Amino acid sequence: MSERKRVAKIPVLKVRDGEEAQRAWDAVAAEEPMEIRVNGDAVAVTMRTPGHDFELALGFCLSEGIVDGPDAVETMRYCAGDDPETGLNTYNVVDLHLRVPGAVAPDLRRNVYTTSSCGICGTASIEAVRKRLPALDDDLCVPAGLLRALPERLRDAQEVFDRTGGLHAAGLFDAKGTLRCVREDVGRHNAVDKVIGWAATQDALPLSGHILLVSGRVAFEIAQKALYARIPLLAAVSAPSSLAVDLARDSRMTLVGFLRDGRMNIYTGEQRLILPT
């Protein structure tokens, strides 16, 4: 996806203290709806930043349990032409074609509008996730100092954020702190799905021994997606929600919040961090 699609130019009136107001062009993060289909069945509509759309669709369907695994998907494609009912264009509808045709289960159908900030709300209870995704058994252990260095590495890799200041990011790091993948989007959950989708296309799932860092807060759905990918350490520069903490604790995931300015709060799984003595 070209930079033109990910960034939009908007006319603005810039007002600065003590200076004359000036008209100018401002770069803002692009936001468009994308419909996800499986074998032609619509399962979700989400607002996203164009780019890495196949990764987003695949990551979403995997982490939400709509598709059993990457091998179940034969092809992914954009749907040709405009949809007269939704108005979505060629590049705003992605269809995953499964190797074994079959209808999507009614309880997994997400054919509803969802905002870029809240994700797919009310689609699963904690109990349903617990039944679908077993607890982690991962011996990852990293120095706290390594973890403190990751936000700056993630920030340095946020290319579109540098131009717009309006995107979330998810970064996947290995146990040595090497950045393996970074994805940006107006939605936190979308950025995470894109990372999971990338891992699926690279035949890298499960992501045992890895660290996922997100640029915003951690809600339940992001912890759920990390659990699906079998990521043992989830960190965020902002706060987690109570449901995210509950899910992380029950699934033996390490959850770190407020990872910034050289500090952090460890909510669960402190055994995976080597702390200063």
CA dist 170 and 214 (Å) reads 4
Reported as a single tens digit per residue, the pLDDT across 179-195 is: 999 999 999 999 999 99
Place of tokens 């979403």: 60
Reported as a single tens digit per residue, the pLDDT across 86-120 is: 555 567 899 999 988 765 655 555 544 444 444 44
Q: Specify the pLDDT at position 273.
A: 96
Q: Specify the pLDDT at position 162.
A: 58
CA dist 49 and 240 (Å) reads 23
Lowest-confidence pick of 89-103, 246-260, 262-276: 89-103
Are domains 32-124 and 142-274 of this chain identical in fold?
Answer: no
Reported as a single tens digit per residue, the pLDDT across 158-180 is: 876 656 666 899 999 999 999 99
User: Domain residues of the chain, as ranges?
Assistant: 32-124, 142-274
Kind of pairing between the strands at 93-98 and 32-38: parallel
* Nearest-5° Cα angle at 242, 268 to 238: 75
Q: Specify the pLDDT at position 115.
A: 42
Determine the average pLDDT of the residues in 142-157: 94
* The domain made up of 32-124 is a member of CATH 3.10.20.10: yes
Highest mean pLDDT among 18-32, 87-101, 231-245: 231-245
Q: What's the pLDDT band for 60 if we cut at 50, 70, 90?
A: very high
Residue 275 has pLDDT above 80, yes or no: yes
Given the residues 79, 118, 141, 181, the one annotated as active site: 118
Determine the average pLDDT of the residues in 41-65: 93
In the annotation, is 118 catalytic?
yes
Residue 54 has pLDDT above 90, yes or no: yes
Reported as a single tens digit per residue, the pLDDT across 178-237 is: 999 999 999 999 999 999 999 999 999 999 999 999 998 999 999 999 999 999 999 999
Nearest to 52 by CA among 94, 103, 113: 94
CATH superfamily, with its number, for domain 142-274 = Cytidine Deaminase, domain 2 (3.40.140.10)
